[in-house]
């Protein structure tokens, strides 16, 4: 996975994150969900437009490639104290999670890289 991450970081399109909001990254929950510090409290953020296989679902359990997607997101965000969030029209989902596009401080879109590397599918359009 280390080679995949280094080639991803080296080849990824870089976005201008100056117009996005910066938040403290607390943890990676799975391939498409992280936890951040938001307005003083700990909040889950679900990545917009992508779906990765589950790692610990109540009914589905662990799905194939779920651990790989989680590890990819973890390594892509390794060493990042903060992440940049771009919110869309829908601010929260039915589970009260924040919904956003996630970027590293270098401007790498986590969603784009999950899709490009075959670890997520486009969903929830």
Residues annotated as catalytic (active site), given as ranges: 46, 54, 97
Catalogue the long-range contacts made by 68-72 (C-beta closer than 8 Å, 24 or more residues apart): 68/1, 68/31, 68/119, 69/30, 69/31, 69/32, 69/114, 69/119, 69/120, 70/28, 70/29, 70/30, 70/31, 71/1, 72/1, 72/4, 72/5, 72/31, 72/113, 72/114, 72/117, 72/119
CB of 83 closer than 8 Å to CB of 104? yes
Helix axes 2-11, 66-76, angle to 10 degrees: 50
């Amino acid at each position: 996975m280390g080679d995949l991450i280094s080639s991803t970081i080296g080849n990824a399109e870089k976005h201008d994150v100056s117009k996005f909001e910066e938040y403290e990254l607390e943890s990676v929950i799975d391939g498409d969900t992280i936890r951040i510090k938001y307005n003083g409290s700990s909040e889950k953020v679900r990545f917009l437009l992508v779906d990765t296989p589950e790692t610990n679902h109540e009914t589905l359990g662990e799905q194939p490639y779920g651990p790989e997607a989680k590890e990819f997101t973890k390594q892509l965000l390794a060493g990042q104290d903060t992440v940049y969030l771009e919110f869309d029209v829908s601010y929260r989902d039915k589970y009260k999670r924040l919904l956003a596009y996630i970027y590293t401080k270098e401007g790498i879109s986590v969603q784009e890289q999950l899709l490009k590397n075959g670890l997520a599918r486009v969903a929830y359009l």
